[in-house]
Amino acid sequence: MRFADLLGFAWQVVLGYRSRTLLILLAMGIGVAAVVTVTALGEGARLYVVRQFGSLGTNLVIVLPGRSETSGSMPGVLIGKTPRDLTIDDALALKRSHAIRRFAPLIVGAGDVRSGSRRRETPVLGSTPELMDIRSMELASGRFLPAGDPRHSQPVCVIGTKVAGELFGNRQALGDWVRIGDRRFRIIGILAAQGESLGFNTDEIVIVPLAAAQALFNTESLFRILVEAKSRDQIADAKADVEEIIRLRHEGEKDITVITQDAVLATFDRILRALTLTVGGIAAISLAVAGILIMNVMLIAVTQRKREIGLLKALGATGRQIQMAFFTESAMLALGGAAVGVAAGEFGRSIISQIYPAIPFEAPWWALVAAPVTAVVTGILFTVAPARRAARLDPVQALSRR
């Protein structure tokens, strides 16, 4: 029997028993759609986290005061009063390391920013010019913080686009002055719109020189130091150097936490991937259910079409041909169901994407391959028993009216 004829024959069956076909398409479709949607959710969450970390900058090593017991756990919890503060001098000492390309000390606080009668509460970051490259920030206009000794500062600031819009409207913000607390700062740069990046929306921040922030918030201690290693291979060296340099400065005590982007990212990546696989696997159980449905439907078909099978044998069909006819039929149904499922899953995904536009929901390629393949394999596996039963049917009995 030619392959095209086999397909044609199966197609006639699929068309001939419509309600049965719809039932299987529905069951397979639900299973595949579940896998596609659920893995898209998991993968979306994973990509979201990965991109958030990626937006921090490349080869990033973050130094924060306080000792964290388990590396890789969320470190933010440990800010606050710690045995010893991180200082500007600690940061400047990092220049000794050969593994470090650049670093930026960071102080963060909330500031009351005013221009004329308009005011706005925004996060205020105190840092050095290196921050721009480390965080891969871009300027819409003007320039970034001026270079110079971080212990002394000029009264200048760089503001996010949203802050500029809210304080100045259509007026020119660049070159104008704002008040933060009781100090005046000249706006020398406006950041390009970039959006959210791990907790900070850069459109809504104001950046001032480090010393200015120290004065504003009346603090000596750094919130953290962002360090960029010279290359990906030197991240580990940079981390070791940072730990050693600060330990020596802190009288031999290891009272800082150094997080590498890689380690945290790898942990999240692993957790979220495992999660996606797990939920995908759970969703795939519905495929097995669909497979069992196919088996039952096929067993019924063998009984229903007993006479037809007997006839095919009388016309010279071999047992193999009969089996192939059944396999083709179930593969066709499973593929159809998979197509319906992928379409429905993508539809569901696009709806969720519209509700949460920030998260890149996207079914991973392996799910898009695995779900239909699983559907077809399940379909065929569960057809083995019915197909063999059909092939073994005694034609004389099958044809008789008994």
Partner 1 sequence: MIRLTGIERTFTVGDEQVHALRAVTMQIARGEYLSIMGPSGSGKSTLLNILGLLDRPNAGSYELDQRDVTGLSDDELARVRREKIGFVFQFFHLVPRLTAAENIELPMVLSGVDPAERAPRLGQLLAEYGLTERSGHRPDQLSGGQCQRVAIARAMSMRPGVILADEPTGNLDRHTGQEVMSVLERLHENGGTVIVVTHDPEIGARSQRRLRMIDGAVASDEKG
Given the complex with partner 1, which of 323 and 330 has the nearer CB atom? 323
Q: Is 321 in the site for partner 1 (CB under 8 A)?
A: yes
Q: Is 315 in the site for partner 1 (CB under 8 A)?
A: yes
Scanning 110-118, 242-250, 289-297, 318-326 for contacts with partner 1 by CB under 8 A, the matching segment is 318-326
Strands 183-191 and 156-159: parallel
- AA letter at 106: L
Q: Is 18 in the site for partner 1 (CB under 8 A)?
A: no
Q: Is 308 in the site for partner 1 (CB under 8 A)?
A: yes
Beta-bridge mates of residue 64 = 257
**Alpha carbon 232 to chain centroid, angstroms:** 21
Q: Is 237 in the site for partner 1 (CB under 8 A)?
A: no
Given the complex with partner 1, which of 2 and 81 has the nearer CB atom? 2
Q: Give the residue among 377, 375, 386 at the shortest CA–CA distance from 25.
A: 375
Given the complex with partner 1, which of 61 and 298 has the nearer CB atom? 298
What sign results for the dihedral spanned by CA atoms 84, 87, 92, 97?
positive
Beta-bridge mates of residue 159 = 190, 206
Phi, psi of 2, rounded to the nearest 5 degrees: -75, 150
Q: Give the residue among 119, 64, 103 at the shortest CA–CA distance from 86.
A: 64
Q: Is 313 in the site for partner 1 (CB under 8 A)?
A: yes
Scanning 186-194, 274-282, 285-293, 314-322 for contacts with partner 1 by CB under 8 A, the matching segment is 314-322
Scanning 80-88, 162-170, 221-229, 302-310 for contacts with partner 1 by CB under 8 A, the matching segment is 302-310
Q: Is 289 in the site for partner 1 (CB under 8 A)?
A: no
* CA–CA separation, 123 and 109 (whole Å): 6
Q: Is 303 in the site for partner 1 (CB under 8 A)?
A: no
Q: Is 399 in the site for partner 1 (CB under 8 A)?
A: yes
Q: Is 389 in the site for partner 1 (CB under 8 A)?
A: no
Minimum CB separation of residue 298 from partner 1 in Å reads 17
Are 49 and 358 in contact by the 8 Å Cβ rule? The answer is: no
One residue of 26, 139, 279, 311 binding partner 1 per CB under 8 A: 311
Q: Is 77 in the site for partner 1 (CB under 8 A)?
A: no
Q: How many chain residues interact with partner 1 (CB under 8 A)?
A: 28
Scanning 252-260, 277-285, 312-320, 340-348 for contacts with partner 1 by CB under 8 A, the matching segment is 312-320
Q: Is 9 in the site for partner 1 (CB under 8 A)?
A: yes
Q: Give the residue among 361, 302, 368 at the shortest CA–CA distance from 329.
A: 302
What sign results for the dihedral spanned by CA atoms 157, 161, 167, 170?
positive
Q: Is 316 in the site for partner 1 (CB under 8 A)?
A: yes
Beta-bridge mates of residue 118 = 115
First to last CA, the chain: 30
* CA–CA separation, 271 and 258 (whole Å): 21
Q: Is 2 in the site for partner 1 (CB under 8 A)?
A: yes
Q: Which residues bind partner 1 (CB under 8 A)?
A: 1-2, 4-5, 8-9, 12-13, 15-16, 307-308, 310-321, 395-396, 399, 401
